[in-house]
Structure 1
Amino acid sequence: MQIGLEAGLTNQLIDEIDQQPGHLPLLEFALTQLWSKQQNRLLTHQAYQEIGGVEEALANHAEAVYAQLTEADRQRAQQIFIQLVRLGDDTEATRRLTTREEVRLENWDLVTRLASSRLVVTNRNESTAEETVEIVHEALIRSWGRLEQWLIVDGDFLRWREQLRLAIRLWENSGHDQGVLLRGKALIDAQEWQLQRAQELNTNEIRFINKSGELRELEVKQQQRIRKIGISSLVTGLILALGLAGVAWLQGQKARMSETKAISSSAESFLNANLEFDGLIASIRAGRRIKGTDGIDANTRTQITETLQQSINFVREKNRLAEHDGMLESVSFSPDSKFIATASRDKTVKIWSLDGKKQLVVLREEKGEGFNSVAFSPDGTLMATGSWDNTAKIWSREGKRLHTLDGHKEAVLEVAFSPDSQLLATASWDNTVKLWSREGKLLHTLEGHKDKVNSITFSPDGQLIATVGWDNTMKLWNLDGKELRTFRGHQDMIWSVSFSPDGKQIATASGDRTVKLWSLDGKELQTLRGHQNGVNSVTFSPDGKLIATASGDRTVKLWNSKGQELETLYGHTDAVNSVAFSPDGTSIATAGNDKTAKIWKLNSPNSIIVRGHEDEVFDLVFSPNGKYIATASWDKTAKLWSIVGDKLQELRTFNGHQGRVNKLSFSPDGKYIATTSWDKTAKLWNLDGTLQKTLTGHKDTVWSVNFSPDGQLIATASEDKTVKLWNRDGELLKTLPRQSSVVNSAVFSPDGKLIATAGWDKTVKIWSIDGRLQKTLTGHTSGINSVTFSPDGKLIASASWDNTVKIWNLDGKELRTLRGHKNVVHNVTFSPDGKLIATASGDNTVKIWNINGQELRTLRGYKDAVWSLRFSLDGKTLATGSRYDIVVWHLYLDDLDQLLVRGCDWARDYLQNNPNVNPDEKSLCDGIRPIAQQ
Structure 2
Amino acid sequence: MEPSDPPTTPLRGIHLEAHASGDARIQLAARDQHIYYRDGVRARRRTVAGGPVPECPYPGLAAFGPEQADWFFGRDGLVAELIDRLDRRLDSGGVQVVLAPSGAGKSSLLRAGLLPALDRAALPGSDRWPKLVLTPTTDPLWVLAANLAALTGGDVVATVEELTTDPRRCVPMLARASRGPSGGPDTRVVVVVDQFEELFTLCADDRQRRVFIDLLVHLAESDAGLVVIGVRADFYPACADRPRLRAALQDAPLVVGPMSEPELREAILYPAEAAGLQIEPGLVELLLRDLGATANAGADREAGYEAGRLPLLAHALRVCWQQRNGSTLTVRGYQDAGGIQHAIATTADRVHDGLDAAGRLVARALFLRLIRIGEGTEDVRRSVSRAGLLAASADPAATLAVLAVFTQARLLTQREDTVEVTHEALLTSWPRLREWIGADRDWLRAHQQIADDTESWRRGGRDVSLLYRGTRLAVARQWLPAHGGDLNEAERDYLDRSYAQQRTQTRRRLALRSGLALVVVVALVLGALYWYTNRQRDQAQVLADSRALAQASQDVATSDPALSVMTALAAYRTAPTQEARNQLLREYLKHSQSTKVLSGLSGKLKVSHTSRDGEVVFASTDMGRSTLFVHAATGTVRAEPLAAGYVVYSMVAPDGKRAAFIDETGTPGWFDVGVDGTTGPVRRLPKVAGFTVFYNAPQDAAALSADGRMIAVGMKDRLVWWDLETGVKTELAAPPGTVNGLWIGADDRTLLVKTVGEQRDYGLVAVDLSTGLSRAVLDRAQDRQFLMSGDRTAVATCLPQGDDQSVYQLVRVADGAALGSPYPTKSVHCGLVGLDADGRRVLVKDEDGSLLDLVRGAKLSSGIQLPGLATPITDLIASGDKLLVAYMDTAQLTYTELPPGTRTLSVVTQVLTRDGAKTISLLKDGSLQLRPADDDDDRLLARAPAPQPAWDPDGNTLGLSGDGTLLVNREGSNVVVVRETESLREVSRITTARPTSPPPTTVGDYLATGHKQPDNNFGYYFDHSGNLLTVADTQVQSWDPRTGDQIAHWDARAVLPPGGEINSVGPYPAANQVAVVISGDPVVRIVDLITGRTTTTVETTPDLISIQFDAGGRYFALLRQASVVELWRRDPSRRELGPFHSLTGINSTPWVARFLGGDGRFVIAANNSIRIHQIGSQAPVDSYEFGHPNGSGQGSPYYFIDLSSDGKTVLYADDKGIGGTLSLDPASWMPKLCGAIGYRDFTPDERAALPASAPPGHLCQPTG
Question: How does the TM-score come out when normalised to structure 2?
Answer: 0.47
2:573 and 2:644 map into 1 onto residues whose CA distance is 49
Q: Does 1:697 align with 2:958?
A: no
Q: Is the 8 A contact 2:366 2:389 kept in 1?
A: yes
| SS of alignment partner, residue 909 of structure 1 | coil
2:740 alignment counterpart: 453
2:912 alignment counterpart: 622
Q: Does 1:872 align with 2:1204?
A: yes
Q: Does 1:372 align with 2:649?
A: yes
Letter in 2 for 1:805: E
Identify the match of residue 707 of structure 1 among 1021, 1025, 1042: 1021
| SS of alignment partner, residue 846 of structure 1 | strand
1:766, CA displacement in angstroms? 3.6
Identify the match of residue 844 of structure 1 among 1168, 1184, 1196: 1168
Larger radius of gyration: 2
1:846, CA displacement in angstroms? 1.3
Q: Cα 1:278–1:79, aligned 2, differ >3 Å: closer, same or farther?
A: farther
Of 74-83 and 417-426, deviating more is 417-426
Q: Is the 8 A contact 2:652 2:659 kept in 1?
A: yes
1:802 and 1:663 map into 2 onto residues whose CA distance is 20
Letter in 1 for 2:699: E
Identify the match of residue 911 of structure 1 among 1233, 1241, 1244: 1241
Identify the match of residue 663 of structure 1 among 954, 957, 972: 957
| SS of alignment partner, residue 414 of structure 1 | coil
2:1154 alignment counterpart: 829
Identify the match of residue 144 of structure 1 among 416, 430, 442: 430
1:351 alignment counterpart: 630
The 5 Å alignment of 1:572-611 reads none
Residue by residue, what CA displacement relative to the aligned partner does 1:155-182 show, whole Å, maximum 9, x if unpaired? Answer: 57876898999999x99xxxxxx97888
Q: Cα 1:78–1:242, aligned 2, differ >3 Å: closer, same or farther?
A: closer
Q: How many corresponding residue pairs?
A: 799
Structure with higher strand content = 1
Q: Cα 1:75–1:270, aligned 2, differ >3 Å: closer, same or farther?
A: farther
1:779 alignment counterpart: 1100
2:1089 alignment counterpart: 769
1:755 alignment counterpart: 1074
1:487, CA displacement in angstroms? 5.9
2:610 and 2:291 map into 1 onto residues whose CA distance is 66
1:753, CA displacement in angstroms? 1.0
Q: Is the 8 A contact 1:77 1:110 kept in 2?
A: yes
1:468 and 1:181 map into 2 onto residues whose CA distance is 59
Letter in 1 for 2:1255: L
The 5 Å alignment of 1:197-596 reads 249-267=531-549, 269-270=551-552, 275=557, 329-331=606-608, 339-344=615-620, 345=624, 349-352=628-631, 357=636, 359=638, 369-370=646-647, 372-375=649-652, 377=654, 385=660, 387-388=662-663, 389=666, 398=675, 413-414=698-699, 428-430=714-716, 450=737, 452-453=739-740, 475=762, 477=764, 481-484=776-779, 525=829
Q: Is the 8 A contact 1:620 1:664 kept in 2?
A: yes
2:414 and 2:346 map into 1 onto residues whose CA distance is 25
Q: Does 1:66 align with 2:66?
A: no
Q: Is the 8 A contact 2:607 2:650 kept in 1?
A: yes
Q: Is the 8 A contact 1:314 1:861 kept in 2?
A: no
1:387, CA displacement in angstroms? 3.2
Residue segments in structure 1 that go unaligned for 5+ positions in a row: 37-42, 172-177, 217-236, 292-300, 459-464, 509-516, 529-538, 549-558, 570-574, 604-609
1:742 and 1:446 map into 2 onto residues whose CA distance is 84
1:759 and 1:911 map into 2 onto residues whose CA distance is 61
Q: Does 1:674 align with 2:969?
A: yes
1:924, CA displacement in angstroms? 1.7
1:447 and 1:730 map into 2 onto residues whose CA distance is 84
Of 840-849 and 812-821, deviating more is 812-821
Q: Does 1:805 align with 2:1094?
A: no
1:89 alignment counterpart: 375
| SS of alignment partner, residue 147 of structure 1 | helix
Q: Cα 1:644–1:434, aligned 2, differ >3 Å: closer, same or farther?
A: farther
Q: Is the 8 A contact 1:476 1:483 kept in 2?
A: yes
Residue segments in structure 2 that go unaligned for 5+ positions in a row: 7-279, 295-303, 324-329, 391-395, 499-518, 746-751, 767-774, 809-823, 833-841, 852-861, 1000-1013, 1189-1195
1:22, CA displacement in angstroms? 5.4
Q: Cα 1:914–1:852, aligned 2, differ >3 Å: closer, same or farther?
A: same
Residue by residue, what CA displacement relative to the aligned partner does 1:883-923 show, whole Å, maximum 9, x if unpaired? Answer: 4354544355xxx9999999999999333777633599897
| SS of alignment partner, residue 434 of structure 2 | helix
1:931 and 1:54 map into 2 onto residues whose CA distance is 64
Letter in 1 for 2:931: S
| SS of alignment partner, residue 142 of structure 1 | helix
Residue by residue, what CA displacement relative to the aligned partner does 1:803-823 show, whole Å, maximum 9, x if unpaired? Answer: 4332565x9945844666644
Q: Is the 8 A contact 2:739 2:756 kept in 1?
A: yes
1:625, CA displacement in angstroms? 8.0
Q: Cα 1:901–1:27, aligned 2, differ >3 Å: closer, same or farther?
A: closer
| SS of alignment partner, residue 64 of structure 1 | helix
Residue by residue, what CA displacement relative to the aligned partner does 1:776-818 show, whole Å, maximum 9, x if unpaired? Answer: 544357554x644545677644444464332565x99458446
Letter in 1 for 2:374: G
| SS of alignment partner, residue 375 of structure 2 | coil
1:657, CA displacement in angstroms? 7.6
1:374, CA displacement in angstroms? 3.8
Identify the match of residue 643 of structure 1 among 909, 915, 932: 932
Q: Is the 8 A contact 2:717 2:734 kept in 1?
A: yes
Letter in 2 for 1:890: S
Q: Is the 8 A contact 1:628 1:640 kept in 2?
A: no
Q: Is the 8 A contact 2:373 2:380 kept in 1?
A: yes
2:447 and 2:781 map into 1 onto residues whose CA distance is 50
1:630, CA displacement in angstroms? 3.5
1:233 alignment counterpart: none
Q: Is the 8 A contact 1:477 1:484 kept in 2?
A: yes
Q: Cα 1:620–1:723, aligned 2, differ >3 Å: closer, same or farther?
A: farther
Q: Is the 8 A contact 1:320 1:914 kept in 2?
A: no
| SS of alignment partner, residue 146 of structure 1 | helix
Q: Is the 8 A contact 2:787 2:874 kept in 1?
A: no
Q: Cα 1:145–1:916, aligned 2, differ >3 Å: closer, same or farther?
A: closer
Q: Is the 8 A contact 2:844 2:850 kept in 1?
A: yes
Q: Cα 1:645–1:485, aligned 2, differ >3 Å: closer, same or farther?
A: same
Q: Cα 1:564–1:927, aligned 2, differ >3 Å: closer, same or farther?
A: closer
Q: Is the 8 A contact 1:422 1:437 kept in 2?
A: no
2:918 and 2:733 map into 1 onto residues whose CA distance is 53
| SS of alignment partner, residue 253 of structure 1 | helix
Q: Is the 8 A contact 2:661 2:670 kept in 1?
A: yes
1:210 and 1:406 map into 2 onto residues whose CA distance is 60
Question: How does the TM-score come out when normalised to structure 1?
Answer: 0.60
1:919 and 1:121 map into 2 onto residues whose CA distance is 30
1:181 and 1:20 map into 2 onto residues whose CA distance is 46
Q: CA RMSD in A?
A: 7.6
Q: Is the 8 A contact 2:653 2:707 kept in 1?
A: no
Q: Is the 8 A contact 1:114 1:120 kept in 2?
A: yes
2:713 and 2:725 map into 1 onto residues whose CA distance is 18
1:302 and 1:835 map into 2 onto residues whose CA distance is 23
Letter in 2 for 1:144: W
Q: Cα 1:689–1:779, aligned 2, differ >3 Å: closer, same or farther?
A: same
Q: Cα 1:716–1:123, aligned 2, differ >3 Å: closer, same or farther?
A: closer
1:860, CA displacement in angstroms? 1.0
1:267 and 1:260 map into 2 onto residues whose CA distance is 11
